[in-house]
Amino acid sequence: MTPEEVPPADVAPEEVPPADVTAADVAPEQMPPADVTQAYPAPGKTILRRAGDRGWLIECADRHPAEVATSIRAQPWASGLREVVPAATTVLVVAETAAGMGTLAAGLRTVLDGTGAHPTGPPPGRRIVIPVRYDGPDLPEIAERLGLDPEEVARRHGAGEYRVGFFGFAPGFAYLDGVPESLRLPRLSSPRPRVAAGVVAIAGNQTVVYPGGTPGGWHQIGVTTTRLWDVTAEPPNRLAVGDRVVFEAVTP
Amino acid sequence: MTVTSAAPGRRVRTRHRPPDHGTGPEPAVLTVVRAGPAASVQDLGRPGMAHLGVPASGPADRRSFRLANRLAGNPEDTPALEVTLGGLAITLSATRHVAVTGAPAPLTVDGVPVDGAPRLWLRAGSVLAVGRPWAGCRTYLAVSGGLEAEPVLGSASRDFLTGLGPDPLRAGAEYGLGPARPVPAIPLELAFSVVPCGGPATVRFRWGPRHELFDAADRHRLTTTPWRVSAQCDRVGARLTGPPLAIGSVDLPSEGTVRGAIQVPPSGEPIVFLADHPVTGGYPVIGVVTDADIDLVGQTLPGDELRLAPIL
């Protein structure tokens, strides 16, 4: 079956990017140097990369993806977007239709290159307090690895303020940035097959409250009874990108 | 028992059916007689929730799914059945129009072949069976009035990656039917689906977002290799086999992905993301199959030859 035989699809026809799309809007065709990880991404410059008929992938450079995503959602034309997906260093934007991808690129550029109109840090967000019982199964072992008492691990985790960076991996799985330097550990070498909802865990500079029903390779230090993800609720998420989260120790 | 009413473009409302005191007509139901290897309820999925980690899901071949609903007189987003590799048999408690699209498969009603009819007038109590397709792998079956399945996060689509949505079909399962709708008078001979049928399937893709991580030889290889769909092929994605790309292990920070993304894991053998793909991934995406052609990938079977043609 050749493409010509495909009947008209329910998508808008291909369109030629208008003149306002500069070479910087599309990823260059040049071959990268041998060590791609070193030159990638280009520092200090936001880049739009095409991600399919309806998508642009934004490399945020020195701006926080959560803040970029929030700024994009605040635009009057954001109603024409199907998805705005912040991740570790990027924001994926997917339009409802393939028409006007060049116009969309221009709109994104005004958001990304706008000076003064937007804060450079993450959006203020809400402050959400989550009570935690610090009695996770991994607490004694990681305390020993870190050279701390379990109580001190709990105290340091509970003393921090965390940011909801982005969701990924599973429905409701929110990556919270901001684990103190002294508590950073690589993930477990062998993930657990299933982790219950409410388990609080750490890995690297991130902490998470498991949404339930997923495997998990993070170090489990506690548990909360607060439901942060509930598919029967509207909306299902208690946390949103950009929120600030603090954990409050409660006694077992 | 809970019933739902679905309307396109807005959240499905759920209500509870009043207790049946023996008055009024019996509610119409579809009963699964045989489930087959992998059949599920689908609607057009959960778009717009990727930022919460929720895949869009929906039919693997959206065009055939929409066609089935149109033939059955339903709005395109109405819950219907996606049947993978046949093996399904159903019966209705009320006489209804039933539309069958997607991978063409042997159809029987009470054992009598009714092949070639994209729409049937299925009498109450008769058993409609869908056999293994002659070509393609996913057949869609829509009943006039639509199925009533419990929505999760606004959709009745079963997502096989996350487990969201109604359980996969099993023998004995019952689904309520919405009120029958008039079916359109359209020339049914024009109601066909695009499936691979012998020979290579060619699908178009756009380069990016990470094609520049690959050297010229890898990019050339992607577009000239007669890829084969491997046995690792489901609603999440289709893994392709062939001479692997040489890029090796590149771990990017997790980034958002789209349906149709051609992701290259360290093995060098590409994976094409389908309906239930993860919302983020850390392996480089060299290109994205076009919206127009991704439905065709959703109809490929292990062993099918797939050629990737770049849009320049």
The 3-state DSSP class for residue A170 equals coil
**Among A220, A237, A221, A217, which residue's Cα sits nearest to residue A229?**
A237
Mean pLDDT over the full length of chain B = 90
B11 → chain A, closest CA residue: A234
Question: What single-letter amino acid sits at A45?
Answer: K
Residue A186 is classified by DSSP as P
Q: What is the DSSP string of B147-203?
A: EE---BTTB----TTT--SSPPP-TT-EEEEPPP-PPP---GGG-------SS-EEE
| Phi-psi domain of B233 (left: phi exceeds 0; alpha: psi -120 through 50; beta: other) | beta
List pLDDT tens digits, range A131-148. Answer: 999 999 999 999 999 999
Give the ipTM: 0.89
Give the closest-approach CA distance of A19 to chain B in angstroms: 17
Contact status of A187 with chain B (Cβ, < 8 Å): no
Q: What is the pLDDT of residues B158-199, one digit of tens each?
A: 999 999 999 999 999 999 999 999 998 876 666 678 888 778
Contact B256 A32 (CB under 8 A): no
- pLDDT for res B249: 87
At residue A10, does pLDDT exceed 50? no
Among B279, B283, B285, most A C-beta atoms within 10 A, so best to mutate, is B279
> How high is the pLDDT of residue A46?
74
Chain B residues in contact with A95 by the CB 8 A cut-off are: none
Q: Decide if A65 touches B, using CB distance below 8 A.
A: no
Q: How does residue A54 score in pLDDT terms, banded at 50, 70 and 90? A: very high
| Cα dihedral B141, B145, B150, B155 sign | positive
pLDDT band at A61 (very low <50, low <70, confident <90, very high): confident
pLDDT of residue B186: 72
Quick one: closest CA in B to A49, which residue?
B209
pLDDT digits (tens, 9 = 90+) for B1-54: 333 334 333 333 434 444 444 455 678 999 999 999 999 999 999 999 999 999
Tell me what the pLDDT averaged over chain A comes to: 82
Distance of CA B252 to the CA centre of its chain: 29
**Mean pLDDT to the nearest integer, B106-131:** 94
Residue matched to tokens 């008078």: B185
CB contact (8 A) between residue A172 and residue B206: no
Q: Is A1 on the interface with B (CB under 8 A)?
A: yes
- pTM for the predicted model, two decimal places: 0.85
Residue A28: its chain B contacts at CB < 8 A?
212
How far is residue A85's CA from residue B264's CA, in Å, rounded to a whole number? 21
Residue to mutate among A92, A173, A232, with most B CBs inside 10 A, is A92
Place of tokens 């019966």: B91
B196 contacts on A by Cβ (under 8 Å): 1
Identify all chain A residues contacting B236, using CB atoms and an 8 Å cutoff: none
pLDDT tens-digit series, residues B92-106: 999 999 999 999 999
CA distance A42 to chain B (A): 13
In tens, the pLDDT along B273-292 reads: 999 999 999 999 999 999 99
Q: Compute how many other C-beta atoms are within 10 angstroms of the C-beta atom of residue A203.
A: 18
| A22 Cα to chain B: minimum distance (Å) | 16
Judge: A84–B51 Cβ closer than 8 Å, yes or no: yes
Taking the CA of residue A36 and the nearest CA in chain B, the distance in Å comes to: 6
Report the gap between the CA of A171 and the closest CA in chain B (Å).
4
Using one digit for the tens of pLDDT, what is the confidence trace for A86-121? 999 999 999 999 999 999 999 999 898 865 445 555
Q: Which pLDDT does position B115 carry in this prediction?
A: 77
**pLDDT at residue A7 in the model:** 35
Q: What is the pLDDT of residue B258?
A: 98
Q: Do B206 and A3 touch (CB under 8 A)?
A: no
Q: How far, in Å, CA of B170 to CA of B312, rounded?
A: 46
Interface size, chain A vs chain B, as Cβ–Cβ contacts under 8 Å: 166
Question: Which chain B residues have a beta carbon less than 8 Å from that of A237?
Answer: 52
By DSSP bridging, strand B174-177 and strand B280-281 are unpaired
Closest residue of chain A to B252, computed from CA coordinates: A37
The answer to whether the CB atoms of A85 and B280 lie below 8 A apart is: yes
Degrees, nearest 5: CA angle B271-B273-B278: 110
pLDDT for A206 beyond 70: yes
